[in-house]
C-alpha cells in the first residue's frame, strides 16, 4: 500500500479499481490505559496512571510536564526499553505489550531511534563506530554498515568528522552523531528525551531543524522538553501531570527552525538540505 505522510492518496490497484490509501492507516503509536508502577521497598510509585494516546504517522509531538510527571517513563515504554505494568501498546501495528524481552529488543532495534539529553555516545569509539553500533545488532554486513553510517553522518552535516571521538566534538556535534545513530536502521519513530537540555539556544534550534527535516521526510517524532520555545517547533503538544495526560493541543503552524536560524545567519551546513 502507498504510504505517505498523513495524506490520503488515490492509487490504482491490481484489479484495476481505484482505492483510497491513507485514510484507514493505523497510528504509529497507540497506547491505551498505560500504567507503570515502580516498587521501592514498601512504597509503590505510580509513574503512569492510565495514559491513552495515539500518534499518527508523520506527527511531530512535544511531551511537556513538570519533573517527575512521568515523561521519561512514558518514553521508555513507547521506545520498548521498558514494559508497562498494565495497559496495551501497539507500535506500527504490532502489539508490543505482550512481547517477550528478546522480541521487544528486536522491535526496538528495527523501529525505534533514541536521542538522549546526555547524547549517550560510547566515549572510546569514533563517530563512525557509534553510528555503526545499532547495525551490529541488526546483523548488517560490515561494508554496508560503514556505508550507511557514513551516509547518516553526512545527512547531519558531519562529513569529515567520522574519525573523531566524542570528546573531540562539540555538544551539538555529539548530538548530531546521536541523531545519525538513531536514524541508521531506518526507524519508524524517533524518540528524543530532552535532546536540547545540554545545548545552548542556537545549537538547540539547529537540532530542531534536523528533526524537522527528518519529520518532513516521514519519520514520526516524539520529543520531551521542558522548554516552551522548543515545543513551538512541534505540531502537537501533550502535557503530563502526575502520570496522566492533562492537555493535548495541536499547533497548526509550527515555527520553522531553519527560518529561525536564518534570522541569525551562520553556518547552515547539515541543517537545511
Ligand atoms: P519525568 O521524566 O517527567 O521527570 P519520570 O518518568 O522520570 O518523570 O518519573 C516519574 C516518577 O517515577 C517519579 O516519581 C520518579 O521518581 C519515579 N521513577 C522513575 N524511574 C524510577 C525507577 N527506576 N524506580 C523508581 N521510581 C522511578
Ligand atoms: Mg525525564
- pLDDT per position as a tens digit, 54-97: 999 999 999 999 999 999 999 999 999 999 999 999 999 999 98
Convert the pLDDT of each residue in 193-251 to its tens digit.
999 999 999 999 999 999 999 999 999 999 999 999 999 999 999 999 999 999 999 99
Ligand with the closest atom to the CA of 71: 1
Ligand 1 pocket, residue 72 CB under 6 Å: yes
> Nearest C-alpha to atom 14 of ligand 1 is from which residue?
68
- Answer whether residue 24 shows pLDDT above 70: no
Nearest to 157 by CA among 207, 215, 230, 120: 207
Candidate from 35, 36, 37, 38 with most ligand 1 atoms within 8 A of CB, to mutate: 38
Residues 170-192: pLDDT tens digits?
Answer: 999 999 999 999 999 999 999 99
User: Which has more pLDDT, 137 or 12?
Assistant: 137
- pLDDT for 72: 97
Nearest protein Cα to ligand 1, atom 12:
47
Atom of ligand 1 nearest to the CA of 69: 3
Ligand 2 centre to CA of 226 (Å) is: 10
The cell numbers describing 248, all together, are 493535548
Q: How many secondary structure helices (H) and strands (E) does the chain include?
A: 8, 12
pTM flag (> 0.85): yes
Whole-angstrom Cα distance, residue 239 to residue 74? 12
- C-alpha angle with apex 66: 65 to 67, nearest 5 degrees? 120
CATH number of 27-262: 3.40.50.300
Q: Residue 18: phi, psi to the nearest 5? A: -100, 130
Please choose from 68, 191, 224 the residue to mutate so as to test ligand 1's pocket, defined by most ligand atoms within 8 A of CB. 68
For ligand 1, atom 27, which residue shows the shortest CA distance?
38
Closest CA to 50 of 86, 90, 97, 89: 86
Where residue 202 falls (left for φ over 0; alpha for ψ -120 to 50; beta otherwise) is: alpha
Least confident of 15-19, 117-121, 269-273: 15-19
Phi, psi (rounded to 5 degrees) for 43:
-95, 145
78-100 burial code (b ≥16 CB/10 A, e <16):
bbbebebbebebbbbeeebbebe
Q: Measured between alpha carbons, how far is 123 from 94 in angstroms, rounded to an integer?
A: 34
- Asked if 160 and 167 touch (Cβ cutoff 8 Å), the reply is no
Amino acid at each position: 500500500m502507498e504510504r505517505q505522510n498523513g495524506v490520503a492518496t488515490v492509487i490504482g490497484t491490481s484489479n484495476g479499481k481505484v482505492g483510497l490509501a491513507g485514510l484507514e492507516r493505523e497510528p504509529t503509536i497507540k497506547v491505551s490505559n498505560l500504567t507503570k508502577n515502580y516498587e521501592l521497598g514498601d512504597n509503590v510509585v505510580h509513574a503512569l496512571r492510565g495514559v491513552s494516546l495515539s500518534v499518527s504517522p508523520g506527527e511531530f509531538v512535544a511531551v511537556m510536564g513538570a519533573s517527575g510527571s512521568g515523561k521519561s517513563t512514558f518514553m521508555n515504554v513507547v521506545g520498548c526499553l521498558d514494559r508497562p505494568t498494565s495497559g496495551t501498546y501497539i507500535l506500527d501495528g504490532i502489539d508490543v505489550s505482550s512481547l517477550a524481552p528478546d522480541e521487544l529488543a528486536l522491535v526496538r532495534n528495527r523501529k525505534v531511534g533514541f536521542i538522549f539529553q546526555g547524547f549517550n555516545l560510547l566515549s572510546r569509539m569514533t563517530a563512525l563506530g557509534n553510528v555503526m553500533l545499532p547495525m551490529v545488532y541488526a546483523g548488517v554486513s560490515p561494508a554496508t554498515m560503514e556505508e550507511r553510517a557514513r551516509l547518516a553522518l553526512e545527512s547531519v552535516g558531519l562529513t569529515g568528522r567520522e574519525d573523531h571521538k566524542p570528546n573531540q566534538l562539540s555538544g551539538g556535534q555529539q548530538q548530531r552523531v546521536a541523531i545519525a545513530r538513531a536514524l541508521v536502521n531506518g526507524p519508524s519513530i524517533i524518540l528524543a528525551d530532552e535532546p536540547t537540555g545540554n545545548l545552548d539556544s542556537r545549537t538547540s534550534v539547529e537540532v530542531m531543524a534536523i528533526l524537522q527535516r527528518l519529520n518532513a521526510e516521514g519519520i514520526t517524532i516524539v520529543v520531551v522538553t521542558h522548554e516552551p520555545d522548543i515545543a513551538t517547533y512541534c505540531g502537537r503538544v501533550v502535557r503530563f501531570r502526575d502520570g496522566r495526560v492533562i492537555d493535548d493541543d495541536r499547533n497548526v503552524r509550527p515555527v520553522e527552525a531553519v527560518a529561525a536560524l536564518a534570522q541569525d545567519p551562520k553556518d547552515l551546513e547539515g541543517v537545511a538540505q
